[in-house]
Structure 1
Amino acid sequence: MTATQDIMNSETLMGLLAGWGITPPLIEHPPLHSCEDADRLLLNRPGTRLKNLFLRDNYGRRHALLLTRSDKQVDLKALSRYVGWSRLGFASADRLRRYLGVEPGHVSMLALVNDREQEVELWLDQELQTGNDFHCHPLRNTATVLLSKTDLQAFTDHTGHTPLWLPVPAS
């Protein structure tokens, strides 16, 4: 993402989604920086809770946003071997801002709207295929939208991020 590109905010995102025919429920809540924050607040929302991991290869040339179950501990070494990337690791907060335009704790698949250069791959854990109404922050961690599978597909069609469904190994 270049410095001249505008970073989308939550309100603009919701308007864009509506223009695409995507009108998911929006749930306001206190700030949630992690899955553990949601557990502590005992938030009971319908749908599938997600863990969003922004990853990079060892050289920092390739990036992926991995979505998995909120309670899953991912074996990055095994996943790295599976996808054929050199040593997967967590990308820095600077990279998160640069590629997805959000701060740590605010990331979800909806942040891909800011990846206009298609530099981030979208990886989805195969275990999520039975889920629906995926919990996603709308570029801020004080709200959650519930994105259906149909809406997820429409969103990725519009952003150009083809989801790659993977058997994500647990550690």
Structure 2
Amino acid sequence: MQETLSRWLESNAGDCPFVEHPAVHTIDEALIHVPAMPGLMVKNLFVRDEKGRRHFLVIVPFDKRIGLAALGRLLPSSKLSMASPERLLQHLGITPGAVSLFALIHDSAQAVELLLDQAVWDADSVQAHPLRNTATVALSHAAFVDFLAHTGHVPRILNVPAAI
């Protein structure tokens, strides 16, 4: 799939800034190791509902702390918790640290629901790992929309509640 994403990026986002960097697993590490580049730095969480039937990729600005309980109340009967690394690999084909919107390329079954914070949707461009945490791409809003069309994912755009 890495090759499939690489081809898509070349064809559809070729002029988007791309940087290689040391592996990063957290926002704190990214702030140290990812060189300054355009686009909103984001935080990506892979969560599941209480029964493990629904899975969500939640994308918010990097400095927003997510209130999972409050977010769960916005979704029909969903008490949310972090999904396991095994579920992450099963549904998005990646390991912790590499979570980003690009992992949706592995979700051909449309089993993962995409929840975007309004600020992410409104950004001119966003930063994302291209299926590995040793590189970052600054994807324009237009390319972001094209990528979602390519994967068939329709985002739910909302004001993700912040943790108190």
TM-score in same-fold range (> 0.5): yes
1:84: Cα distance to partner?
1.9
C-alpha change, 1:17 and 1:40, in structure 2 (3 Å) is closer
Alignment match, 1:78? 70
Task: Give, in whole Å, the separation in 2 of the partners of 1:28 and 1:12.
Answer: 19
Q: Note if 1:37 corresponds to 2:29.
A: yes
TM-score, normalization by structure 2:
0.93
Alignment match, 1:110? 102
1:14: Cα distance to partner?
1.2
C-alpha distance after superposition, 1:85-105 (max 9, x if no partner): 421111000000000000100
Alignment match, 1:4? none
Task: Give, in whole Å, the separation in 2 of the partners of 1:49 and 1:85.
Answer: 30
Alignment match, 2:13? 22
Q: Where does structure 2 lack aligned partners over 5 or more consecutive residues?
A: none
Q: Note if 1:156 corresponds to 2:156.
A: no
Task: Give, in whole Å, the separation in 1 of the partners of 2:146 and 2:4.
Answer: 17
C-alpha change, 1:61 and 1:166, in structure 2 (3 Å) is same
1:106: Cα distance to partner?
0.5
1:127: Cα distance to partner?
2.1
Task: Give, in whole Å, the separation in 1 of the partners of 2:135 and 2:77.
Answer: 33
Percent identity at matched positions? 45
Alignment match, 1:93? 85
C-alpha change, 1:30 and 1:42, in structure 2 (3 Å) is closer
Q: Say what the alpha-carbon RMSD is for the aligned residues.
A: 1.4
C-alpha change, 1:17 and 1:46, in structure 2 (3 Å) is closer
The one-letter code sitting in structure 2 at the alignment partner of 1:50 is V
The one-letter code sitting in structure 2 at the alignment partner of 1:168 is V
Alignment match, 1:121? 113
Is residue 37–residue 138 contact of structure 2 (8 Å, CA) maintained in 1?
no
C-alpha change, 1:86 and 1:130, in structure 2 (3 Å) is closer
Task: Give, in whole Å, the separation in 2 of the partners of 1:132 and 1:95.
Answer: 31
